[in-house]
Chains A and B, each alone.
Chain A
Amino acid sequence: GAVVSQHPSRVICKSGTSVKIECRSLDFQATTMFWYRQFPKQSLMLMATSNEGSKATYEQGVEKDKFLINHASLTLSTLTVTSAHPEDSSFYICSGGVSDTQYFGPGTRLTVL
């Protein structure tokens, strides 16, 4: 099946710094990628839909200036959490779409001190 990777798998940073998370589709081209956020013992919350070569579409309540998304190629989308604060600590998961199926990455655990 199609494989999606994320890097890093875990990151700890100080409050006020920016963190970049990469999402790559390894063996397929994903014109659309999705970024989710998951709090402990809760379900996935869609943050934004990332389309290659165009601006991302953010869900209601998600700050686009805080969560910068870039989808520069058909195999790479990045999420940058700018000026991170402790409340941004969460598990971030991306997925890439092929036809009507999404393939999920292994997730990135972000801890902001």
Chain B
Amino acid sequence: KQEVTQIPAALSVPEGENLVLNCSFTDSAIYNLQWFRQDPGKGLTSLLLIQSSQREQTSGRLNASLDKSSGRSTLYIAASQPGDSATYLCAVLGQGAQKLVFGQGTRLTINP
């Protein structure tokens, strides 16, 4: 059974800093991995999707990496801004599976 873990559970940093969020998964047989953002009381916004054959994906100040063999992914946020404050969730789609397995999320707070 796939399990996804995110560390840390919460993170607070001053504005302008670069930061890394971590995601690990127990079964390396994945189809893809996705990072989402969730604002309080809102739905999910997809940030980046990495296919199993890819090593990383970039969008603006965000960079996500994937090391399938070690079961790890990182989300790097450059030059953080208060507007980046949200909960970040990673989720994996197993090979042949329909359903996503989510991590517990990291609550990020960027202090002005």
- State whether the Cβ of B93 lies closer than 8 Å to any Cβ in chain A: yes
Residue pair B93, A100 in contact (C-beta under 8 Å) = yes
Residue pair A32, B43 in contact (C-beta under 8 Å) = no
Additional pairs, 17, CB under 8 Å, beyond known A49-B99, A101-B46: A1-B46, A6-B43, A32-B98, A34-B99, A42-B104, A44-B44, A44-B102, A46-B99, A46-B100, A93-B43, A95-B44, A100-B31, A100-B93, A101-B49, A104-B44, A107-B43, A109-B41
A100 to B91, CA, bound (A): 13
- State whether the Cβ of A102 lies closer than 8 Å to any Cβ in chain B: yes
Residues on the A chain within 8 Å of B44, using CB = 44, 93, 95, 104
- State whether the Cβ of B21 lies closer than 8 Å to any Cβ in chain A: no
Interface residues of A, Cβ cutoff 8 Å to B: 1, 6, 32, 34, 41-44, 46, 49, 91, 93, 95, 97, 100-107, 109
- State whether the Cβ of B77 lies closer than 8 Å to any Cβ in chain A: no
Residue pair B43, A104 in contact (C-beta under 8 Å) = yes
Interface residues of B, Cβ cutoff 8 Å to A: 31-32, 36, 41-46, 49, 89, 93, 98-100, 102-105, 107
Q: How many pairs of A and B residues are in contact by the CB < 8 Å rule?
A: 44
Residue pair B100, A102 in contact (C-beta under 8 Å) = yes
Residue pair B98, A44 in contact (C-beta under 8 Å) = no
- Smallest Cβ distance from A81 to chain B, in angstroms? 18
- Smallest Cβ distance from A73 to chain B, in angstroms? 19
Residue of A nearest to B10 (CB): A41
Residue pair B42, A43 in contact (C-beta under 8 Å) = no
